[in-house]
Amino acid sequence: MNAPDYNPREIDASRPSAARMYHYYLSGEAVFEVDKIFGEHLFQVFPYADVWAHHNRTFLRRAVKFMVAQGIRQFLDIGSGLPTVGNTHEVARAEAPESRVVYVDNDLEAVHRADELLRAQRAMDDTAVIEADLRHPDLILDHPDTRRLIDFDRPLGLLIISVWPFIPDADRPRELMARLRDRLPSGSYVAMSHASMSEVGDELKELATEISAMYAETSDPLTMRDRDDVAALFDGLRLVEPGLAYASDWRTDEPVDPDDQSRAGNLAAVGYKP
Ligand SMILES: C[S@@+](CC[C@H](N)C(=O)[O-])C[C@H]1O[C@@H](n2cnc3c(N)ncnc32)[C@H](O)[C@@H]1O
């Protein structure tokens, strides 16, 4: 599955990246000037981008807590992004301090910032961040830091939260996911979310095309997928209740706002590997 030509990416300050834009929606902080320009344009087109991102992030936190409650103590977080409030290791270790986490991203800004944070927290014994690409699952699973921190004889929690949209169909996301799934120990859990505009109202549906056109100009073109295609990424896994749901609604204790226009734009689930 691993192509021999994997080349790490340089930081490109001349055009936005998915990691930096997501960070902007969540925090309002732009790493480079182009991020601010792109972000402000995107907010004009899709005014709920920050709400969407916050829902996505709270899904991540609920999924980690759910996995910890199932006894999971080791996590692989692929496409982890720039660190923000409530990172996977912080959420997991608040519940189970012995938890181990390996972060993976192909965006150097995300990798450097995560590395800085983990060093500042003196968390390097039980956490690591590696620069790698979801298109090369074996390089991730066989990386020395993954092998150091993750025991493949025990179940683990795999997080691929809002990352598949940046893998085009040409790179065969289902096959990549199958490769990862096949190498997971049984008893593992997989949490994934995926941008999807197939269930939003007509008004937002038109925006989906515009948003995709904007992302086509960034380092990370965006592919939105419909419910069936997102569900297919969970092939071979048993979905835990409530199945594939809006990320905002998945096992939330908060009241759901039916007028929240961002809800339907992100599908999420947690699957169990028997
Ligand atoms: C929308 S952010 C999501 C961050 C985090 N998972 C979350 O949900 O809060 C998408 C992240 O996926 C990363 N990413 C995109 N394509 C990737 C790839 N091929 N391999 C690894 N990471 C990737 C981006 O750099 C970015 O950090």
- The answer to the question of residue 20 being in a domain is no
In this prediction, residues 112-117 reach a mean pLDDT of 96
In this prediction, residues 259-263 reach a mean pLDDT of 88
Structure tokens at 15: 């055009």
- How many structural domains does the chain have? 1
- The answer to the question of residue 41 being in a domain is no
- The answer to the question of residue 115 being in a domain is yes
CB within 8 A of 119, min separation 6: which ones?
none
In this prediction, residues 2-29 reach a mean pLDDT of 86
Chain-wide mean pLDDT for the chain?
A: 94
Give the range of the structural domain holding residue 98, as residue numbers without chain letter. 49-201+222-272
Q: What pLDDT is attached to residue 3?
A: 43
Is any ligand 1 atom within 6 A of the Cβ of residue 192? no
Is any ligand 1 atom within 6 A of the Cβ of residue 161? yes
- The answer to the question of residue 255 being in a domain is yes
Is any ligand 1 atom within 6 A of the Cβ of residue 109? no
Q: Whose CA is nearest to atom 8 of ligand 1?
A: 161
If DSSP codes are grouped into helix, strand and coil, which group holds residue 80? Answer: coil
* Residue 1: pLDDT over 60: no
Q: Which atom of ligand 1 is nearest to the CA of 56?
A: 8
Residue 110's nearest CA partner among 24, 170, 231, 49 is 24
Task: Give the DSSP per-residue string, 131-144.
Answer: E--TT-HHHHHTSH
The share of the chain scoring above pLDDT 90, in percent, equals 88
Q: Which atom of ligand 1 is nearest to the CA of 110?
A: 27
Is any ligand 1 atom within 6 A of the Cβ of residue 88? no
Is any ligand 1 atom within 6 A of the Cβ of residue 133? yes
Per-residue pLDDT reduced to its tens digit, 229-245? 999 999 999 999 999 99
Distance 162 CA to ligand 1 centre (A): 7
Q: Which atom of ligand 1 is nearest to the CA of 107?
A: 25
Q: What are the φ and ψ backbone dihedral angles of 49, each rounded to 5 degrees? A: -60, -40
Assign 147 a pLDDT band (cuts: 50, 70, 90): very high
- The answer to the question of residue 170 being in a domain is yes
Alpha-carbon separation of residue 32 from 22, 40, 109, 136, 274 (angstroms): 13, 13, 11, 28, 44
Structure tokens at 147: 């092998």
Alpha-carbon separation of residue 111 from 102, 130, 155 (angstroms): 11, 7, 25
In this prediction, residues 101-125 reach a mean pLDDT of 96
Per-residue pLDDT reduced to its tens digit, 163-186? 999 999 999 999 999 999 999 999
Distance CA 97, CA 120 (A): 17
- The answer to the question of residue 32 being in a domain is no
- The answer to the question of residue 39 being in a domain is no
* CATH code where residue 128 lies: 3.40.50.150
Q: What pLDDT is attached to residue 202?
A: 79
* Residue 105: pLDDT over 90: yes
Is any ligand 1 atom within 6 A of the Cβ of residue 22? yes
- The answer to the question of residue 206 being in a domain is no
Structure tokens at 274: 């028997």
The pTM score is 0.96
Is any ligand 1 atom within 6 A of the Cβ of residue 166? yes
Per-residue pLDDT reduced to its tens digit, 46-95? 999 999 999 999 999 999 999 999 999 999 999 999 999 899 999 999 99
Q: What pLDDT is attached to residue 5?
A: 59
Distance CA 140, CA 79 (A): 11
- H or E stretch covering 100: strand 100-105
Alpha-carbon separation of residue 39 from 75, 142, 155, 222 (angstroms): 31, 36, 38, 15
